[in-house]
Amino acid sequence: MYLDANHIIKKKITFHSNNRSNADQLDIAYGIDENFFLGCAVSISSILISNTNLEFSFHIFTNHLSCDFEKNLKLLSEQYKTNITLYLVDDVGLSKLPTTKNWTIATYFRFIIADYFYKKIDKILYIDADIICTGSLKELLTLPFEENIAYVVTDKDAIWWNKCAIRLDESKLSKSYFNAGFLLMNLNKWHEFNINDKALELLSDTNKSKKFTHLDQDVLNLLLLDKVKYLNKKYNQQVSINYELKYKNKNNTCSPNLEQAILIHYIGPTKPWHTWANHYKCAQYFINAKQQSPLKSMPLLPATTATQMRYCSKHKIHQKKYFSGIICNIIYCLKKLTKN
C-alpha cells in the first residue's frame, strides 16, 4: 500500500508565521479526529505555557474541519506568537485499515506526517493529543539520533512486554515495547528503512493484522526493533482516569507519581476533557493548562456515545452522584439496544 501525503492533504491553513529557522525550533505534529479537538488545543497550550523560552511549530493533521477549532487555533497562535498549521486529510485511502472502538483511522495519520515532512525537515515529534506538558522539552532539540529511527518511551511494564512478545511472536519485545503516543522521528532514517510502506502492508494483510490488537503501535514495535533509543518515562508518563474506579476513597489513587513527569499521557477512553473526569487529581494537569490558556471558557465535553455513557455512569456512581449515574446507565442501555 503506497502513501503519498502530497495527494492526501486537501487543504492547508496556517495561523501566524515567524521567520525562525528550523534549527531554532521543535516541530510537533498531531493526528486527530474531531473527538480530540479540545484535547489537542489544550495540549498545545500546555507545551507553550511550560516552554516560554523555546520556539515551536505545530502541525495538526485531521479529517474534519470545524470553525470553532480553527478559531481556537488562531487564538493560540496570536497569544503565544507561535506557528500552527492545520492539514485537512483525505482518509479514504486509509479506510480499509483496521480500527477499534478506541483507535480510529486517525491513528494512521502519523504515517502521513512522516511522508509529508520527509526532505522538508530532519526530525519531528509526533505526540498524541491526550498528552499534557508540564516541563521543559529543551532536551529533545539536541538529542543525537546516530543510526536510530526514533526516540520512544516504554509502554507499561515488563509483564505487558512479555504478553506483547507472545502475541506478536517476537521474543525481543519481551525486553521492551514502546507506546507510540510519543515518537521523536528521524525522518531520513524512517524513509531509508521504508517504514511507511512496510507498516501499511502489514496492516492491510487481514490474516496478519488479526494479532495487531494495538494496530500501528504493534506494527511499529516490530518494524523498529533495535532501531530506537529509549527515553525516561517522564516523556510519556501514562495515566488512566478509569483506574480511579478501583478506589473508593479519592485520597487513595492508583495513578503514578506525576510530579516528575514532563509529558502526561491520558490513556483509555475517559479523557480529562470529559465532564465526568475533572473530579480527579490526575486530571488537574489538563484542567490547569486549560484555565491558563485562551480556551478557559470552553466547556468540557459531555458523554455522547454508548461507551462514554457507560464510563460516565460508572464515574458518577463512584463519585456518589447516584441519580445522574443511573440516568447515564439508562441512556447507555438504550444506545446499545438501538445499535443492535
Write the pLDDT tens digit of every residue in 135-166: 999 999 999 999 999 999 999 999 999 999 99
Phi-psi category of residue 226: left, alpha or beta, with phi > 0 → left and psi -120 to 50 → alpha: left
45, containing H or E segment: helix 37-50
- Cell 480511579 belongs to which residue? 244
Which pLDDT belongs to residue 250? 56
Burial of 41 by CB count in 10 Å (0-12 exposed, 13-18 middle, 19+ buried)? buried
Task: Tell me the C-alpha distance between 282 and 264, whole Å.
Answer: 9
Task: Tell me the C-alpha distance between 104 and 98, whole Å.
Answer: 9
Residue 300 has φ and ψ, to the nearest 5°, of: -70, 165
Task: Tell me the C-alpha distance between 24 and 124, whole Å.
Answer: 13
Amino acid identity of residue 308, one-letter, is Q
User: CA 283 → CA 62, 130, 136, 265, distances in Å?
Assistant: 25, 11, 20, 11
Which pLDDT belongs to residue 249? 60
Are 137 and 47 in contact by the 8 Å Cβ rule? The answer is yes
The stretches in the chain having pLDDT less than 70 are: 1-2, 17-23, 248-255, 340
Q: Which residues pair with residue 29 across a beta bridge? A: 59, 126
User: CA 293 → CA 38, 286, 334, distances in Å?
Assistant: 12, 11, 37
Are 199 and 119 in contact by the 8 Å Cβ rule? The answer is no
Are 242 and 269 in contact by the 8 Å Cβ rule? The answer is yes
- Compute the half-sphere exposure of residue 159: CA atoms within 13 Å on the CB side of its CA: 0
pTM: 0.94
- Cell 449515574 belongs to which residue? 325
Task: Tell me the C-alpha distance between 75 and 73, whole Å.
Answer: 5
Instruction: Please tell me the total number of residues recorded for the chain in this structure.
Output: 340
- Cell 522521528 belongs to which residue? 185
Which pLDDT belongs to residue 279? 87
322, containing H or E segment: helix 322-339
Q: Is 9 helix (H, G, I), strand (E, B) or coil?
A: strand
- 3-state helix, strand, coil split of the chain in percent (to 5) is 45, 20, 35
C-alpha cell at 8: 492526501
What domains lie within the chain, and their CATH numbers?
Answer: 5-235 (3.90.550.10), 302-340 (no CATH)
- Compute the half-sphere exposure of residue 29: CA atoms within 13 Å on the CB side of its CA: 25
Nearest CA among 64, 89, 106, 77 for reference residue 17: 77
Burial 221-244 (b: 16+ CB within 10 A, else e): bbbbeeebbebebbbbbbbbbebb
